[in-house]
Amino acid sequence: MLKTARTTTALLATLLASPAQAGDACGDFKSATLSGDWSGRRASLCERGIAVDLTHKSDLLANVAGGIARGSAWLMNSEAAFNLDLGKLAGWGNSSAFIQYHIQHGAQSINNYTGSFSGVSNIETGTRTSHFYQVWLQKNSDDDALSLLGGLYAVDSEFYVTDTSGLFLQPPYGMSTEMSQTGRNGPPIFPMGALGMRAKYSGNSFYLQAALTDGVPGDPDNAHGTHIRLGDGDGTFAIAEFAYTPAASAGKTAIGLWRYTARVDDLSETDTQGEPLRRADRGVYFLAERTLLAEAGDPEQGLSGFVRFGMVNRDVYQSDCSGSIGFNYLGLFDGRGEDAAGIAVTVSHASAKYRMSNASEASETAIELTYRAQLLPWLAIQPDLQLIHNPNMDPALRDAWVAGTRLEIAL
C-alpha cells in the first residue's frame, strides 16, 4: 500500500494548489455539493483529470416489533472517491485510475435486533474502521471495446449488478444473499475488495467480462484497516458474466458463473476419520432488468423492474439459493422528477442440510418499501419500511418490522 499512500498524499497536495480556469464540463459543484467548489479548486482538479466525489450516508433504523428484540441503531458510512483520467494527468491515452476510501462510523448493528439472514442496511459492517475499498488502474482499447483492469477490486461494482435495485437499503439488492455468504471471508464485495484483475469486452448489444481475485479478501482475523495478503491456502476467486444489452429495451439480461479454488466443509457429512467432507465452492446466477413504462415527456422517468436469482452448493451453506424482484418508479409525482419510489422482495431458501441440522424454517422473506426524496441537489432523505418474515429461518423468531430513514449527502 506504499504507492497508494504516496498517491493519496499527492492528491491532497494538489487540492491545496492554486486553482486554474475551469469550464462547465465537470458540472456545477457550487450547487451540487454541500462543500461547494472550494474556491475553484474542485472544478480545476476536474478539468485537469481528477474528479473528487465525497459522500456521507446515515441510516437511522429501528426494529419496532418481532425479531430478537426491539431496538434502534444509527449507522454511518462516509466515502472519498477519486477518478483519475491518466490521459490528462500523465499522457497515458485511454487509461484511468480509481481510488475509493471508506470510513465506517460506529459499530452499531440493527441486525442484532432483527436477526435477519439477508440483513437490513447495506452500510452496516459491525466494525468501526476506515480502509481502502478499491484502488485500481484501467486501460481501454482505442474504441473502448476492450478494457483491462488490475488492483484492489470489488466484484459487486460490475458483476451481478442491476441499476434498478440500487434504490433499496437492504443488502440483497447490492450483492445477493446466496453469494454474499460464500468463501472464508466473503467474496470481494463491499466493504472489502481484493487484489485481482478484470477483463471486459463490449459489443453492439452485449458484453462479456471475467475477473480473478484473491480468494480471501482482507484479513479474517483483523477487520480494522486495509489488508492485502496472499496467504497459503487462500486460493482464488473467479467470476464471469455474459450480458445481452439491447439498446431498445433500456435494460439487460445476464448470466454469471463463479468459483473459489479452495474447497469448503460440508454442513453435515464426514469422512471415515470423522472430518467434514470438502466440497467445491461455486455458483451460478441470472438477472434481468427493463424499463417497463417510460414517461412520454421524459424517457428517463418512469417504471423499471428487475429480477435476480442465484444458486450455490447446497451441501455447504445455510441458503442454497435466493431470488429477488423489485420495481422502481422515478418521478412518480408531478414536480418531483428526481424522487424515486420502490418496492422489492427477496426470498432466501434454506438448504436441506441446514434445515435438518437446525430445525429451521424453509426460507426467509424480506420485503422493503421505500421512497427517496431529492430535497436539494446535494441532499436526499429516504424513509424506509421493511418486513422480515421468518428472520434467519429461525422458528423461534417472530416476523420483524423495521422502520427508519436514510440521509444521503454529497459533500
pLDDT per residue as tens, the chain (411 positions): 333 333 333 433 333 333 333 334 587 888 899 999 998 899 999 999 999 999 999 999 999 999 999 999 999 999 999 999 999 999 999 999 999 999 988 668 999 999 999 999 999 988 888 889 999 999 999 999 999 999 999 999 999 999 999 999 999 999 999 999 999 888 999 988 999 999 999 999 999 999 999 999 877 777 776 777 777 788 999 999 999 998 766 789 999 999 999 999 999 888 889 889 999 999 999 999 999 998 887 888 999 999 999 999 999 999 999 999 999 999 999 889 999 999 999 999 999 999 999 999 999 999 999 999 999 999 999 999 999 999 999 999 999 999 999 999 999
Predicted local distance difference test score (pLDDT) of residue 223: 77
Separation between Cα atoms, residue 157 and residue 290, nearest integer Å: 19
Predicted local distance difference test score (pLDDT) of residue 272: 87
392 and 364 Cβ atoms separated by less than 8 Å: yes
225 and 131 Cβ atoms separated by less than 8 Å: yes
Structural Rg of the chain based on CA atoms: 22
393 and 117 Cβ atoms separated by less than 8 Å: yes
Whether the upstream peptide bond of residue 191 has omega within 30° of 0, thus cis, is yes
Separation between Cα atoms, residue 98 and residue 51, nearest integer Å: 10
Separation between Cα atoms, residue 151 and residue 149, nearest integer Å: 7
Predicted local distance difference test score (pLDDT) of residue 345: 98
Angle of CA points 333, 60, 53, to nearest 5°? 75
- Residue 403, judged by CB atoms within 10 A of its CB (0-12, 13-18, 19+), counts as middle
Residue 357: HSE in the Cβ half-sphere, 13 Å Cα cutoff: 13
Q: Count the neighbouring beta carbons within 10 Å of the beta carbon of residue 207.
A: 18
Q: Count the neighbouring beta carbons within 10 Å of the beta carbon of residue 56.
A: 16
Predicted local distance difference test score (pLDDT) of residue 25: 55
Separation between Cα atoms, residue 155 and residue 133, nearest integer Å: 11
Q: Which residues contact 55 (CB under 8 A, 6 or more apart)?
A: 78, 79, 81, 408, 409, 410, 411
Whole-model pTM: value is 0.89
356 and 374 Cβ atoms separated by less than 8 Å: no
Predicted local distance difference test score (pLDDT) of residue 127: 83
The CA-based diameter of the chain, rounded to the nearest angstrom, is 74
Predicted local distance difference test score (pLDDT) of residue 249: 64
CA separation, residue 317 to residues 38, 126, 241, 265, 407 (Å): 50, 22, 23, 9, 34
Predicted local distance difference test score (pLDDT) of residue 224: 76
Q: Which residues contact 86 (CB under 8 A, 6 or more apart)?
A: 49, 92, 95, 96, 97, 137
Tell me the Ramachandran region of residue 124: left when phi exceeds 0, alpha when psi lies from -120 to 50, beta otherwise: beta
- Structural domains in the chain, CATH included, are 49-410 (2.40.160.180)
196 and 216 Cβ atoms separated by less than 8 Å: no
Predicted local distance difference test score (pLDDT) of residue 106: 67
Predicted local distance difference test score (pLDDT) of residue 121: 96
Predicted local distance difference test score (pLDDT) of residue 20: 35
CA distance between the termini of the chain = 26
Q: Count the neighbouring beta carbons within 10 Å of the beta carbon of residue 289.
A: 23
